[in-house]
């Protein structure tokens, strides 16, 4: 459903997989560190983005010329270079002063993360396959590892934005930025960013009105306007309540 010409995509049930408990445990202890250390560049939801932009406005930085830039990283989960991602995980912990987490040395955490990342094996037809690039999307620790990988990749963009007081925020593989200089200058920066890593490719859009997550943000002559945004691909249907689904599915809909 995410690629033209490919009407389906495979989904594996890993509830009882051998690496699931390791993945859940690593996610539990490492995600807390990431959330704490990277909160200034993390967008939690549409509401948190609006609050961040209000703070940006209070600093007097929001102008009639302010542009919004959004971009996403193509196929982030499945394009993570495994060894490099593990190295960046250890670097992230050391940079923030963690030689151990919950009493576990960082090198042991790296080994556990390697098991989660590399031991993804499945059968299709009569062949056995092993994932050698990226991580399983359904594995809880894959999200945290992808976030940490992006922490390393985005450093230069964050530095540039901080120097000029501009806003930078990321929700997993979706990024929102403000910009007050020429549009061509921003395009040049983003084109350069496309070369920072062979596995990371951006698709960006720049204008005074951009959707991000579930909100539409518009700069109307220096006034910020927000409204609810519905993605065209999100069809307005929910699971019928007479369906034989677990009860929590219907609570999640609300």
Number of domains in the chain: 1
**Can you tell me the distance from the alpha carbon of 199 to that of 153, in angstroms, rounded to the nearest whole number?**
11
For 73, the 3-state DSSP assignment is strand
Mean pLDDT confidence for 139-143: 90
Residue 2, pLDDT > 70, answer no
Residue whose tokens read 């009639």:
64
Question: Which domain, by its residues, includes 208?
Answer: 19-250
User: Does pLDDT of 208 surpass 90?
Assistant: yes
* Banded model confidence at residue 9, pLDDT cuts 50, 70, 90: low
Whether residue 12 lies inside any domain: the answer is no
Kindly state whether residue 7 falls inside one of the protein's structural domains.
no
* pLDDT for the residue 16: 78
For 168, the token pair is 């930078």
Q: Where are the alpha helices (DSSP H) in the chain?
A: 20-37, 46-58, 76-79, 82-95, 106-118, 140-153, 155-164, 183-193, 247-253
Q: How confident is the model at residue 240 (pLDDT cuts 50, 70, 90)?
A: confident
Residue 233 has pLDDT above 90, yes or no: no
What is the spatial distance between Cα 140 and Cα 61, in angstroms, rounded to a whole number?
38
Distance CA(185)–CA(191), nearest Å, equals 10
What does the pLDDT read at residue 177? 97
Tokens of 144: 């945290």
Least confidently predicted of 34-48, 128-142, 143-157, 165-179? 128-142
- pTM confidence score: 0.85
Residue 11's pLDDT band (boundaries 50, 70, 90)? low
- pLDDT the model gives residue 254: 73
Q: Considering the domain boundaries, does residue 142 fall inside one?
A: yes
199 falls within a domain? yes
Q: What is the mean pLDDT of residues 208-234?
A: 92
Q: Extract the tokens encoding 51.
A: 């609050």
Mean pLDDT of 61-81: 91
Report helix, strand or coil for 85: helix
pLDDT, one tens digit per residue, over 37-70 is: 999 999 999 999 999 999 999 999 999 999 999 9
3 state DSSP class of 9: coil
Residue 78 has a pLDDT of 81
Residue 4 domain-assigned (yes or no): no
Residue 13 lies in a domain: no
Res 213 pLDDT > 90: yes
């Amino acid at each position: 459903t995410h690629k033209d010409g490919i009407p389906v995509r495979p989904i594996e049930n890993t509830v009882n997989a051998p690496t699931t408990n390791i993945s859940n445990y690593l996610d539990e202890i490492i995600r807390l560190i990431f959330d704490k250390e990277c909160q200034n560049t993390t967008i939690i939801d549409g509401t948190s983005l609006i609050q961040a932009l209000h703070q940006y406005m209070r600093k007097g930085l929001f102008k009639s010329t302010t542009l919004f830039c959004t971009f996403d990283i193509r196929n982030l989960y499945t394009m993570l270079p495994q060894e490099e991602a593990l190295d960046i995980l250890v670097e992230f912990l050391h940079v923030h002063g963690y030689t151990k987490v919950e009493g576990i040395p960082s090198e042991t955490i790296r080994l556990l993360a390697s098991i989660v990342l590399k031991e993804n094996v499945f059968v299709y037809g009569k062949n056995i396959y092993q994932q050698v690039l990226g991580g399983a999307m359904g594995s809880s620790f894959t999200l945290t590892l992808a976030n940490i990988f992006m922490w390393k990749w985005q450093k230069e963009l964050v530095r540039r934005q901080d120097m000029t007081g501009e806003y930078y925020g990321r929700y997993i593989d979706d990024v929102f930025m403000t910009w007050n200089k020429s549009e061509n200058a921003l395009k040049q920066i983003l084109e350069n960013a496309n070369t920072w890593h062979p596995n990371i490719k951006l698709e960006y859009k720049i204008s005074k009105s951009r959707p991000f997550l579930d909100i539409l943000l518009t700069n109307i002559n220096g006034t910020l306007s927000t409204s609810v945004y519905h993605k065209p691909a999100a069809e307005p249907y929910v699971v019928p309540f007479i369906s034989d689904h677990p009860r929590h599915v219907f609570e999640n809909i609300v």
